[in-house]
Structure 1
Amino acid sequence: MIDHTRSETLLRNFKLRSTPNRQDILELFLIKNYALSQGDIEKEVHNHLDRVTVYRTLKTFLDRGLIHKVLDDEGSLKYALCNEACQAPVHHHDHVHFKCLRCGQTNCLEINVPVIKLPDGYHAQEVNVLIQGICTRCDE
C-alpha cells in the first residue's frame, strides 16, 4: 500500500485539490527523483490514465509551480519536481541540470547559473544550463 501523505501535503501546499490522478503522477516524480518526459509518465500510468489527463495534470503542476521544464540535449521537454530553491518568493529555475550519458537520467543540481551579461537590448526570460557526463550512480 502506497502512503499518499507526502503527495497530499505537496498538493495542499500548492493549493491543488488532491485527486487520485494528481497523486499518481506526483508520486512518480517523488519516486523517480529525476526529470520525466510526458512519454515516460504515460508509460507508467497507461493502464489507468490517458494522454490528455497526463497532459492536463502536467500543465496544472507547471502553472502552479510544482514542477518546471527541463530541456535536454535532444531538444526533448522533460519535467522535474521543484525543490526549495524553486519555491522562493519569485519562482525561478536558474540552476544547472545534469544528464548522465550512461543511464540517460536528467537531474537538477543545486548549482546556480552564473550571471551572464547580455548585450544591450537583450532581456533573458529563462536560462537553461545542461551539463552532460556520468552521474554518481553510474560512476560506481
Structure 2
Amino acid sequence: MAHPQEDTLIAKQITPTAMRLLVLDVLQQHPAALSLADVEQLLGHADRITVHRTLKTFTDKGLVHRIEDGSGAVKFALCEPGCTPEQHQDLHVHFFCTRCRETSCLPTVAVPTIPLPGAFQVQETSLVMKGLCERCAVAS
C-alpha cells in the first residue's frame, strides 16, 4: 500500500525518493511558507544542493509555488490542487508578518485583476501584504 505522500508525488509525476518525501513532509507540517534555509534547518543534516533541487522539481511540477516576500529569501508553499507544471493557479494574497517574519498564503483572498493598457500581457501576478499576522496582532 502506497504512502499518501508517495501518492502526492506520483500524482504530480515526481519520482518519490527519500529526500523528496522528507521535504514534502516538512512542507505539509508547516502552514507558513518556508525558505531553503528553513527546510534545511528542519531536516537537520540535509545536503543543501539536494534540498534546492527538490524544491525546484516541486516548483517545476506544480507541487509548490515560489513566494518573493521582500525578506531577501525566496520561500516555498504547497500549491492549490489545480496547479500544473505549465500554470500555477496560486493567485492568492501572501502575507508577510513584520514581527515573526513568517509568510502565509491566504487562499481565500484573491489577487485582483488589474487591466493594463495597450499590448501589455501579464505572465505572472504576485501580491504580498505586510503587517502583523493574527498571532502577532493578538500578542501586541
TM-based fold match above 0.5: yes
- Write the mapping of 1:46-57 to structure 2, written as runs, cut at 5 A: 46-47=44-45, 49-57=46-54
Provide the C-alpha distance between the structure 2 equivalents of 1:5 and 1:28, rounded to a whole number of angstroms. Answer: 15
- Corresponding position of 1:84: 81
Distance in 2, Cα, partners of 1:121 & 1:84: 31
Tell me which amino acid in the other structure corresponds to 2:13: K
Task: Say if 1:98 and 1:130, in contact at 8 Å, map to a contact too.
Answer: yes
Distance 1:73 1:20 in 2: 32
Partner of 2:121: 123
Alpha-carbon distance between aligned partners in 2 of 1:126 and 1:15, rounded to the nearest angstrom:
24
Per-residue deviation, 1:112: 1.1
The answer to whether 1:60 aligns with 2:84 is no
Q: 1:51-103 CA deviation, whole Å, 9 max, x = no partner?
A: 1101111111011000011011234311111123546x953221100111221
| Corresponding residue SS for 1:123 | coil
Aligned length: 135
Q: Percent identity?
A: 39
CA contact (8 A) 1:98 1:106 kept: yes
Equivalent residues of 1:94, 1:126 under 8 A apart: no
Q: Is the 8 A contact 1:34 1:80 kept in 2?
A: yes
- Cα-Cα RMSD: 2.0
Map of 1:134 onto structure 2: 132
Against the structure 1 CA distance between its residues 130 and 6, is the aligned structure 2 distance closer, same or farther, given a 3 Å change threshold? same
- The residue number in structure 1 matching 2:92 is 95
Q: Would the alpha carbon gap of residues 90 and 72 (structure 1) be closer, same or farther in structure 2, given more than 3 Å must change?
A: closer
Question: Where in structure 2 are there 5+ consecutive unaligned residues?
Answer: none
Name structure 1 gaps, 5 residues minimum.
none
Taking the aligned partners of 2:88 and 2:74, their CA distance within structure 1 comes to 19
Alignment correspondent of 1:8: 6
Name the CA shift for 1:136/1:5 in 2 (closer, same or farther; >3 Å). Answer: farther
